């Protein structure tokens, strides 16, 4: 997963210099953040699985994100996650479950990035109270 995170960062870095504009307002970045968040693993540690279990997510079907706002130097994306819930069976055919989540792209001075995801149970504008966001 470390390679995926590096790939996301490289794509962000290259696309910024190719366009010369603020291309981080593209919702695709939010989708990449959400997918990385719920699939992160490093060696024997599968943090993505832990996160999926906490949210009761068996399988993510789709992710769609739109740029929401910029807070300080961080980009906030509002995302809708469509998923199958843990314990869901084929009978009856499962209804679609969705979650509203916020993905945050956090830039650092040396042209690297990290990210965070806040779930739908987070209070409004939770990122304004997060000390990690500068």
- The DSSP annotation for 64-111 comes to EEEEEEEETTEEEEEEEEEEEETT--SSSPPPPEEEEEEEEEEE-TTS
- For the segment 71-81, the average pLDDT, to the nearest whole number, is 92
**Range of the structural domain that residue 85 is part of:** 2-126
* pLDDT of amino acid 15: 63
Cα angle 72, 15, 20; round to 5: 70
CB burial of 16-42 (b: ≥16 within 10 Å; e: otherwise) equals eeeeeeeebebbebbbbbbbbbbbbee
Domain-embedded: residue 134? no
Domain-embedded: residue 133? no
Kindly tell me if the per-residue pLDDT of 123 is higher than 90: no
* pLDDT of amino acid 131: 81
Q: Express each pLDDT in 83-119 by its tens digit.
A: 988 876 666 566 778 889 999 999 888 888 989 998 8
Q: What is the pTM of this model?
A: 0.75
Domain-embedded: residue 131? no
Q: Express each pLDDT in 30-67 by its tens digit.
A: 999 999 999 998 888 899 999 999 888 888 999 999 99
Identify the CA nearest to 5 among candidates 29, 34, 36, 26: 36
Identify the CA nearest to 58 among candidates 86, 35, 92, 94: 86
Task: Count structural domains, the chain.
Answer: 1
Alpha helices per DSSP H over 1-121 = 2-19, 27-39, 47-54
């Amino acid at each position: 997963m470390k390679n995926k995170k590096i790939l996301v960062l490289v794509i962000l870095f290259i696309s910024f210099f190719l366009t010369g504009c603020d291309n981080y307002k593209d919702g695709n970045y939010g989708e990449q953040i959400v997918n990385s968040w719920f699939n992160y693993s490093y060696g024997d540690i599968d943090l993505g699985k832990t996160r999926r279990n906490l949210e009761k997510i068996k399988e993510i079907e789709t992710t769609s994100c739109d740029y929401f706002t910029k807070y300080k130097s961080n980009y906030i994306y509002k995302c809708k996650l469509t998923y199958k819930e843990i314990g869901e069976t084929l009978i009856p055919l499962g209804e679609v479950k969705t979650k509203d989540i916020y993905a945050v792209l956090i830039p650092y001075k040396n042209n690297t990035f990290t990210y965070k995801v806040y779930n739908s149970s987070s209070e409004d504008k939770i990122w304004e109270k997060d000390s990690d966001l500068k």
